[in-house]
Each structure stands twice: as C-alpha cells, then as structure tokens.
Structure 1
Amino acid sequence: MPESIALHTKLKPGTEEEYADAHANIPPELVAALKDAGVRNWRIWRSGLDLFHVVDVDDYQAMRHALADHPANVPWQARMAELLEVQDDYSGEDTGIHKVWELA
C-alpha cells in the first residue's frame, strides 16, 4: 500500500527563482529514476523560503536507499545543495514530518 510522506526543506535566501526554474526542467532520467524507485507523485509548495513536500511512494525508505547513489539523482542533489539550507543525506532513515491529523 502506498504511503504519503510530508517533508520540509528551506531555500537559501535569493534562490527562489532558481529553484522554480530547476523544477520546471527536471531531467527525464531523474523522473524515470523516481518512478522506478516507487514514487507515484511528488508535490512541492513554497511559502517564503519554506518548502513543503508531499511524496506518494510505495516504500519511502526503500526509495531513499535506491536513489542515494543513483547516477540521475547525485547531480540533482548536488544542484539542490546549492539552493537549500539543509540538504538531505538520503540515508533513508528519516520518516518525514509527523502527521497530527487527517480527515478521512
């Protein structure tokens, strides 16, 4: 059964446009790698410098492990490291933001 994982990241000041441009042109090989790793959907919202992600994925930890050293993901993560305050380590050990409530 797929799971939905919420994440929070933060942009470095002044990188908002660059971040939007990067996400308007995600490399097809990265999209394929995400799908192959079980990602069904990934949505990102921005409020100021704060980014909120919701990832629908078959197995979040397995996806993170699969992408950690993937040749399509490594350059993308290097690019994101230039734009984000704190970069993920892709350990696969995190569980995202704790869900408090959901309207079923």
Structure 2
Amino acid sequence: MEVFLALVVSVMLVSGGIFTFLAAIGVVRLPDVYTRMHAASKAGTVGSGLMLIAAGLQAGDFATFARAFAGFVFFILTAPVAAHLVAKAAHQAGYRLSRRAVCDDMRDRAKK
C-alpha cells in the first residue's frame, strides 16, 4: 500500500510540475496579456492543485490533507475570478489583443 501511495504521489507531483512549467512557458511565449493570463490561471491552478493534493497525501495526516485540499479549493474558486478581473482591467486600460485575435467581444459589446 505504501508503494502504491508513493507512486500516486510521484505521478501527481510530476504532473503538477509539468503543468506549472507549461504555464510558465505560456506566460513567456504567448503574444498578449489575455492569453498569458489564461495560461497562468488555468495551467498554474491545475499544477499547483496537483502538487498540493500530492503533498497532503504524502503527509499521511488527515489534518494536513484537509488543509491542502482547502488550499486547492481556494485556488479553484479564486483563480478564474482573478483572471477575469485582471482581463477586464487590462481591456479598460487599453491593452490591445494580438493581431492574430479574431474578435474582441468586449469592444463589440461596448459599441451596442
């Protein structure tokens, strides 16, 4: 049973690290603030969540796992809201979409 738990925790830690690494690459490589924010909020949340749950499982203590799970739930609840508010503020401040963007729904909605 200990070997199985160690294997599960290892897979979760490696997966979380990969997601976090991909989020970091997305922040550096993507063309505008909106797509960068999307990469950071989605992949960063999944990566952090996987690593938190893995740490909670590895601890073997219910109190530690409960705290890790509460942190994961906090990430899930706050990251999309924060990303939305930052995107809205960036749009209102005048940050433009990249030239490859197909449409700007917020601009189109403001014209109506």
Same fold (TM over 0.5): no
Relative contact order, higher structure (CA 8 A, sep 6+): 1
Normalised TM-score (structure 2): 0.27
